[in-house]
Structure 1
Amino acid sequence: MLTFYNEQHGLHHGRGEFFRGAMVPCFETPARADAVLAELGRRGLGRIVTPQGVPLMSLERIHTPRYLHFLRHAWSDWLALDPANAGRDAIASVWPVRTLRHDIEPDNFSAKLGLYSMDSGTPLTAGTWTAAKTGADCAVNAAHALRLGERASFVLSRPPGHHAGADFYGGYCFLNNAALAAQHLLDDGAGKVAVLDLDYHHGNGTQSIFYGRADVLFISLHADPRHEYPFYLGHADERGEGAGLGYNLNLPLPPGSGAPAWFAALETACIRLAGFGADALVVSLGVDTFAGDPLSRFTLHSADYLRLGERLAYLGLPTVFIFEGGYAVKELGVNVVNVLEGFETAL
């Protein structure tokens, strides 16, 4: 399995995030990707590949030009306000909620932050654009590798991506790597692509991007949004709209869910996937379903991820794995690589 590794991921390293009313150290740190890379090396699994850069028009297949322009220039705009901002991350503090307009981009930078973000827990830093763009390069390259004959590929990058929409960031995510991979697979000749999101948190960005389309089936297993982030999307009655009606399947689970309930939901997802007839599969691989994760209330254990990889292999689809969440850094590498090893050794 080829691993497309984002060597620039460490350039995005937030100083802190707002969490439950306090400024705390960021949960999403460079140590996350480092742990996975170290475990891949320890097991000798796969081959590490540096991605080729992709043009901005590839990103515009998913993200709006206005949003991409904002992200590219955000840090320089932040510094232009005050040179002292070099020592501070940019964090939104005001948002265009219901009845407020979002079609006009404000000149005020703080207002722009709010226009393009969904929370105050996702700091924008000096290296955010470079890290996110290189991650997007990894995603497109990994998708293209399937066209070249690879059975599977892995995107080892951060920041993650599945909360990012066409024109907004949040949940630690800036560019939607899973959506970019899925779109590239379609552009590369696939007729239909499935996206399976296994993160503890619902992939609201991915859902919103493909919600009106029938060529991408989006399925997500996640914590019930009545209790967990992103709160405002991910309910079971969200089935798609227009041409996409019936091509969105959410399988929310209650806090405290363990392996029996989670794998039962996975089987429901796999049955729906089999009926869809996809040409390829994109897996948003979050392992914050782990019992020891500080942001999760599911109770999967490390051995369960081997079983997960094996089940995905039996779908028999060319597969791109995209690294998403997972914040128990000590066990993170083992859990992620268990999925990949279970997939590789199943057949």
Structure 2
Amino acid sequence: MKAFFDARQAAHDPKHFMANGALSPNPEQPERITRLHAGALAAGCAFETPLDAGIGPIAAVHTPQYLTFLQNIYTRWSRIEGAGEEVIPNVHPANRTDSYPLSAVGQAGYHQADTACPITADTYHAAYWSAQSAISGADYIAKTGKAAYALSRPPGHHAFGDMAGGFCFLNNSGIAAERLRVQGFRPAILDVDVHHGNGTQGMFYERSDVFTVSLHADPARFYPFFWGHAQERGQGLGLGYNLNLPLPRGTDDTTYLKTLDKAFESIEAFGCNALVVALGLDAHIEDPFQGLAITTTGFGQIGAAIAGLKLPTLFVQEGGYLSDALADNLTSTLTGFARA
């Protein structure tokens, strides 16, 4: 399988992560790249450096205001006397329609959903090349009709059109799907990360030309809490084009695969002819977030099941955090797909 990755993605090295009121090391570390790269190689992937398709494909789903913020906020933040070493907001608007402030602190609160997306001097450029990896992957499957893997890190599915969140800055899966759409495809995004892809949902929620479906741990008591519930079906033109399949904490391989069949039925009914898989490996039983209980073997079965759709398929890396099984989980997924 062809794979895409740019070494500049490793420059983003966040230090802070606040959860439940406690500050701890950020789990979205560059070491993830080393392990995921090894897992992809073990699955037979042949890596290429992505081409630079420019800002256009990114701006197709992210607002100019947000992209300007990402490009400039660290420099502006650094001018604040006594500011921390990373951009982390401490105030947020109640609504997206509230006033847009001039201050760096206020804009950080507007464009960063939570404290899990600290911005460093290297964040924008790392995220830019993460997105370019997904864009090159989309172009490859569009041209060949085959499958590809984008080692996109930092990940993307919690990034809205104008807001970062949950370790994510640019929505790589959404960017890839839009890239396929403008080339004449009818794409679907299948999100198998343990966390709901709230940014992806928000990006396409009022659209009918990209179908979004997510299997994830029930957000009633799990991040991202406010999105990912079964009743969220889309809005306006997008009504019926978003499908959430929340799962009880600790869901195992058997139940997960049965639920995946429901996702496939809707993907096929949409008339999908190109698939973007938002590939989170954090549903694994040993992942630090402990949401679901998928085994390494189970990931191979998931990969094989996706292959059964017989679609040009782009796997875009999302979550999956440091554990001894991380590389093996990626190898199992991609190998299961290839063998099927």
TM-score norm. by structure 1 comes to 0.95
Alignment match, 1:95: 92
What is the letter of the counterpart of residue 219 of structure 2?
Answer: P
TM-score (norm 2): 0.97
User: What residue ranges of structure 1 are gaps of 5+ in the alignment?
Assistant: none
SS of the equivalent of 1:329 reads coil
Equivalences for residues 1-347 of structure 1 within 5 A: 1-41=1-41, 43=42, 45-82=44-81, 88-98=85-95, 102=97, 104-190=99-185, 192-346=186-340
C-alpha contact (below 8 Å) 1:292/1:328 kept by paired residues: no
Return 159-168 or 291-300, whichever deviates more: 291-300
User: Aligned partners of 1:44 and 1:205: how far apart in 2?
Assistant: 29
Q: Distance in 2 between matches of 1:167 and 1:180?
A: 13
Does the Cα contact within 8 Å between 2:8 and 2:129 map onto a contact in 1?
yes
Q: CA deviation at 1:170?
A: 0.5
CA contact (8 A) 2:4 2:151 kept: yes
Report the alpha carbon displacement of residue 175 of structure 1 after superposing the two structures with TM: 0.2
Worse overlay, 16-25 or 102-111:
102-111
- Give the distance between the partners of 1:307 and 1:139, measured in 2 at CA: 24
Runs of 4+ aligned structure 1 residues displaced above 6 Å come to none
Unmatched runs of 5 consecutive residues or more in structure 2:
none
Give the drift of 1:57. 2.1
**What do you get for the CA RMSD once the two structures are aligned?**
1.4
2 CA distance for matches of 1:30 and 1:259?
Answer: 29
Q: Residue deviations 1:197-243, cap 9 Å, x none?
A: 00000000101111111111100000111111110011101111111
Which digits, 9 at most, give the CA deviation of each residue in 1:152-204, with x for residues without a partner?
111102110000000000000000000000000011121x1110000000000
Q: Which amino acid aligns with 1:92?
A: P
Deviation at 1:150, TM superposition (A): 4.5
Q: CA deviation at 1:59?
A: 1.2
Work out whether residues 283 and 294 of structure 2, in 8 Å CA contact, stay in contact via their aligned partners in 1. yes
Aligned 8 A contact 1:279 1:318 in 2: yes
1:121–1:171 CA contact under 8 A, matched in 2: yes
Q: CA deviation at 1:103?
A: 5.1
Identity, % of aligned pairs? Answer: 39
Q: CA deviation at 1:88?
A: 1.2
Amino acid paired to 1:54: A
| Alpha-carbon contact 2:39-2:329 (below 8 Å) kept | no
CA deviation after TM superposition for structure 1 residue 322, in Å: 0.5
Q: Amino acid of the residue matched to residue 55 of structure 2?
A: L
Three-state SS of the structure 2 residue aligned to 1:160 is coil
Deviation at 1:89, TM superposition (A): 1.1
Q: Secondary structure at the match of 1:202?
A: coil
Letter in 2 for 1:136: A
> 1:44 offset after TM fit, Å?
5.9
